[in-house]
Structure 1
């Protein structure tokens, strides 16, 4: 209580009227509680100036703070060091210039809010600070490729407005892929695009309850002719109403239903047990992901960029998945996911334009044990690591510069920088920029640079 009172006494006069300072009872639940901060104080700023004052106060007191928007991001590496969480959720304004198709939004905006606002203006857009993979990248590249400018508060508590390629080319390179390591992004502007097909796309769920079809499903996904209007998610998950383990595929096609049926015919011909496909507007496409986005629970996941899905390897992973669930009933919501997107647009954009390195990964895969009992941590981490090792051995093609690739938003706690950002030259450049902007690694909660 004394700690909270100190913050209130020292900060309340410096913050806007509606800013809130709460104690441990006000801690905001994160998506993954296995490495979530346990702050003594959580502060809800209402504007950029509030963020400035909070960071300055924490630095003066020698206290580590950590900013979060929706709390859905991946694992917090140095979570034990964090005493103060700055929850940006109240800074969730979205403004759209319809003539230029530019969207300006606050640091507390979550993806669904951004999508809803864009859809209302018949536009489409993605998320960005860790690169921003998603359905539309086949058409427009990474979401970070479409970021135009941002405002951020640095480790000294200074607000920098309108940061872009023109204001600081090196910083701009680093922010687009490693932004959370350089400050608190309080506002950003992104390029959006007009919708195609009246904003409607074909999607749904294919459930293969017969595990003997696994190899056929994997081979069909590997052999798909992915164009810019397609993406696919392959999951191992327990699905309702029986909540039995099943092979699930979520296809997507941005176009008319008849075109979608032709594009996905090789997979449909495998014969799903349950097929639920439909045309959906952009703001409803993520509805099926809502259960996966549920906050709370322990989710010590690991992710990796893959070059292929090896059918025999996936049979092995399926067997391990079934065994893990049978031995750990509390982990029934565990998910193994592989995502495939068209990469042609990504590869057409200069790899050196952003710190995001792994534009050529054919798949982004993640293994997410999901449970509540902390006593399962050792077994869950061992399971994730075993799956990761199979991916490395059977689904990855190492290069001369790095053996593994991981999308930063899906990476585990101890991934080396080479896995996240590529070759040593890129890492040296990133570390040089980090030394200039954050020499004390104050913003080191998610990774050490």
Structure 2
């Protein structure tokens, strides 16, 4: 089929009255357009039954479909073969059960909607750092966020899911009792097994009256000595469960000067925060800009949205590292400066995150597909090129490969590469993502049971 009229004639009668279909001119943009699908149609389901019906329709006609929520996932395999995108955004309901300390969200809910929903009722939830990211998509591949140190990873807080398999069958209230193998696999590799239409998570009463301390430091045109001293201060700070940090290289508007930005977070009082972060707050580091805030839960991610403009080419590459080798990051800084000097590439950045992993490591290694292999990693690094001209694709490949090689050789163990699922490249060996071969084999055997034809293509499509 080639026209929206043909899709509409056949599919619309099978869906609820509020579902809608748009053609290529209505395609939903993605954060990374370098591997974005260009579907003949995008379908906006109104409920779970619509999602299942769309999958059944596509299977009957030999079409490939793909579910999209926030649209921030990178590296979609076989994106050119996708005929139908299921935009999950209409399924964005957030329902808080205050007595059970749980929240149930639709598969199209984004992080900001989840945070707003639970904050309104006096709770906080383990979720991501960017409001516009799909909550379920980021959750299924681990679920890193500022509350990891307090409550564990997002997948550790999942209670149950509703799920549509590759045949268009709905499974409701899937958990460790009803489907133990699937439950194990979904928590860490969920996007490989089907479409999650609903998820229930544990939530927690507000601490510190729902306020968190934040501080942003900016070093403009930093010297290598400044980078070294700042990195050393970060690396020698003892991380507790109520702390996390995001620091990155970016060309900051409006001047476009290359900068080191350090964003600190602490769940607690200002005096406690300043003591915990005293090494990074050392006045002798002399940042060009410093701003403190006490922010409510639903405002914590506001500043991160500036880096999430849709429609750019962003074939990011992420991995975990064991140590913050300063010489390695001097090399990465130089590579980033060179690549960012290309016309239209000034939005490119290098992101580094650190969380306390103590709570996450309390979880048994057999509990989820996301193993201790990655749970205890010290830092998460993402090389994030951003540009619009596809002519830069070759340079981008060289840039990200060079950054990756430096990280592997100087910041980790070359014999044990660790890659966070959401940031893995399209050809990343599964052992680098999930750990030992036995775990990978278990995943593949569960995959064969639930998606024997590999309809969903791969472990990494979000």
1:144 aligns with 2:160: no
Q: Is this contact kept in 2: 1:66–1:445, CA < 8 A?
A: no
Q: Is this contact kept in 2: 1:351–1:359, CA < 8 A?
A: no
Deviations 1:95-119 (A, max 9, x none): 1111111101100000110001011
The equivalent of 2:352 in structure 1 is 338
The equivalent of 1:175 in structure 2 is 186
Distance 1:352 1:292 in 2: 36
1:258 offset after TM fit, Å? 0.8
Distance 1:384 1:354 in 2: 30
- Which one of the candidate residues 397, 417, 422 is aligned to 1:404? 417
Task: Tell which deviates more after alignment, 120-129 or 370-379.
Answer: 120-129
1:211 offset after TM fit, Å? 2.4
The equivalent of 2:275 in structure 1 is 262
Distance 1:446 1:371 in 2: 26
SS state of the match for residue 404, structure 1?
coil
Deviations 1:92-148 (A, max 9, x none): 111111111110110000011000101111111124111101100101110100000
- Structure 1 spans left out of the alignment, 5+ residues: none
- Which one of the candidate residues 242, 245, 252 is aligned to 1:229? 242
Give 1:294-373 correspondences, 5 Å limit. 294-326=309-341, 328-357=342-371, 358-373=374-389
The equivalent of 1:32 in structure 2 is 32
Alignment RMSD: 1.2
Q: Is this contact kept in 2: 1:77–1:446, CA < 8 A?
A: no
Q: Give the structure-1-normalised TM-score.
A: 0.97
Distance 2:409 2:441 in 1: 28
Q: Is this contact kept in 1: 2:421–2:460, CA < 8 A?
A: no
The equivalent of 2:227 in structure 1 is 214
Task: Tell which deviates more after alignment, 20-29 or 265-274.
Answer: 265-274
1:446 offset after TM fit, Å? 5.3
1:49 offset after TM fit, Å? 0.7
SS state of the match for residue 177, structure 1?
helix
SS state of the match for residue 290, structure 1?
helix
1:161 offset after TM fit, Å? 0.4
1:205 aligns with 2:210: no
Give 1:372-411 correspondences, 5 Å limit. 372-398=388-414, 403-411=416-424
SS state of the match for residue 331, structure 1?
coil
1:194 aligns with 2:210: no
Deviations 1:252-294 (A, max 9, x none): 1110011111111101112212111211111111111101222
Q: Which runs of 4+ in 1 moved over 4 A?
A: none
Q: Is this contact kept in 1: 2:43–2:85, CA < 8 A?
A: yes
1:5 offset after TM fit, Å? 2.2
Q: Is this contact kept in 2: 1:211–1:246, CA < 8 A?
A: no
Distance 1:295 1:119 in 2: 27
- Which one of the candidate residues 278, 295, 299 is aligned to 1:280? 295
Distance 1:419 1:425 in 2: 13
Deviations 1:43-75 (A, max 9, x none): 000001101111001000000000011112222
1:416 aligns with 2:429: yes
1:113 aligns with 2:117: no
- Structure 2 spans left out of the alignment, 5+ residues: 128-134
SS state of the match for residue 353, structure 1?
coil
1:398 offset after TM fit, Å? 4.7
1:103 aligns with 2:103: yes
Q: Is this contact kept in 1: 2:191–2:460, CA < 8 A?
A: no
Distance 1:71 1:318 in 2: 28
Q: Is this contact kept in 1: 2:46–2:90, CA < 8 A?
A: yes
SS state of the match for residue 89, structure 2?
coil
Distance 1:23 1:93 in 2: 26
Q: Is this contact kept in 1: 2:45–2:88, CA < 8 A?
A: yes
Q: Give the structure-2-normalised TM-score.
A: 0.94
